[in-house]
Amino acid sequence: MKRVYLNIFVGLLLGFISLSLLYIASNFPGTSKNFPMTMLLLIFLLSLFQIIISIYRFKTIKQNNFEIKKISLIIFCLTFVSIYLMQFLNFFGSFLLFFLSGIYFYRIKNLKFYLFGTLILFLSIYLVFEFGLNVSLINREFLG
């Protein structure tokens, strides 16, 4: 498949999904809809820019074919699986599975830097949600 067609397809898909979710988020109560609506609007605008840039590049550069890295698509899909699993395994369990799958699929041999960076990311996310936003990442029902 030509690169421009794939970029346009992905842009249209992301645009459609973001508009659909924007409609759903508009029904959220009070100010809880502000953040998701802002992010979805940003995703829609970025997908629109992707379509415009792809058409421009097609007319000027004539980029035809390219190779898709399957590992990137797998990690992209695992991100959605991890987000879905958060409702069952909490943030910690889901994050651990995503971390281990990243090690497996990227075949990381030197774990020191990967572990250090992931730990900093994990703690940052936890601190922002727990103390900055007052949103618990622990499902109390899961723990009993």
More confident call, 73 vs 140: 73
Q: What's the average model confidence in pLDDT over 125-131?
A: 85
More confident call, 56 vs 46: 46
> Rounded distance, CA 91 to CA 137, Å?
6
Burial of residue 72 (CB within 10 Å: 0-12, 13-18, 19+) is exposed
Residues in the chain: 144
Average pLDDT of the residues of the chain = 80
- Whether the per-residue pLDDT at 105 is higher than 70: the answer is yes
Closest to 91 (Cα-Cα) out of 128, 137, 126, 59:
137
Q: What's the average model confidence in pLDDT over 67-89?
A: 79
**C-alpha dist (Å) from residue 90 to 25, 126, 136, 140, 142:** 23, 12, 10, 9, 8
In this prediction, residue 64 carries a pLDDT of 53
CB-based contact 71:106 (threshold 8 Å): yes
Flag the least confident range among 25-29, 42-46, 100-104, 140-144. 140-144
